[in-house]
Amino acid sequence: MKTLELKFENMDGKIVTYSLEQPIEPVDPAAVAAAMDTIIAENAFTSSGGNLVAKKSARIVERHVEDIELV
């Protein structure tokens, strides 16, 4: 499963990560940056360390899980 991770800096200077499942691919970096700007401008999310104040990074993370059959 793939997720889009958006990383922000909050007022305390700590990194806050929000994960979105099943991102649209290919990812449009300009659209991601614009969405992150909107999230910051509208105080759409809060954190324990205060409001989000800056974009830090964004990335696609893919996780592969394989079950092990126990005998």
CA distances for 8 relative to 1, 20, 55, 65, angstroms: 22, 14, 5, 27
Summarised one tens digit per residue, pLDDT across range 30-54 is 999 999 999 999 999 989 999 999 9
CB 25 within 8 A of CB 35: no
- Residue 29 pLDDT > 90, yes or no? yes
Q: Where are the domains of the chain?
A: 2-62
Which residues, in sequence order, are CB contacts of 47 under 8 Å at separation 6+? Answer: 10, 14, 16
